[in-house]
């Protein structure tokens, strides 16, 4: 007989820590683009960086690792490439109109942005996930 999985309790990351992590990631990608003279490709490189890091490094970019937060699927697992791709490209939608998709997290009980909702992910404190 199959038993039900125990419910997962998440400690959602603060909006402030998410912002600082994204800022750090932006600086890292900007430095790489500057060194490689790829200034016009910074947006695409940022999306590729996020897809790779989230799907290959326990749901963490370098900024998220420094802030001890991570992206997880709703069941607590690390996002795969497909989920990381949906989430990363959806950040464009979150910022498209006055950053409403980001502001949404201030009012969402699970602190989800639009790109989290579209990808079915949460950003949580890393030590508990």
Q: Mean pLDDT, consecutive 10-residue segments, the chain of 129 residues?
A: 54 96 96 90 94 97 98 96 97 93 95 97 83
Judge contact between 11 and 125, C-beta under 8 A: yes
In our burial notation (b when 16+ CB lie closer than 10 A, e otherwise), range 104-117 reads bbeeeeebbbbbbb
pLDDT value of residue 41 = 87
CA–CA distances in Å: residue 44 to residues 13, 18, 29, 33, 94 = 26, 20, 10, 11, 16
Both tokens of residue 44?
Answer: 């695409």
Query: pTM for the complete prediction?
Result: 0.87
């Amino acid at each position: 007989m199959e038993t039900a999985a125990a419910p997962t309790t998440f400690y959602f990351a603060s909006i402030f820590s998410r912002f600082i992590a994204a800022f750090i990631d932006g600086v890292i990608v900007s430095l790489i683009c500057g060194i490689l003279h790829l200034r016009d490709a910074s947006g695409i490189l940022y999306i590729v960086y996020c897809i790779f890091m989230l799907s290959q490094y326990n749901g963490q970019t370098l900024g998220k690792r420094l802030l001890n937060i991570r992206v997880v699927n709703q069941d607590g697992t690390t996002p795969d490439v497909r989920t990381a791709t949906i989430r990363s490209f959806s950040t464009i939608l979150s910022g498209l109109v006055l950053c409403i998709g980001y502001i949404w997290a201030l009012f969402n009980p699970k602190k989800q942005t639009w790109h989290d909702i579209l990808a079915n992910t949460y950003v949580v404190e890393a030590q508990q996930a």
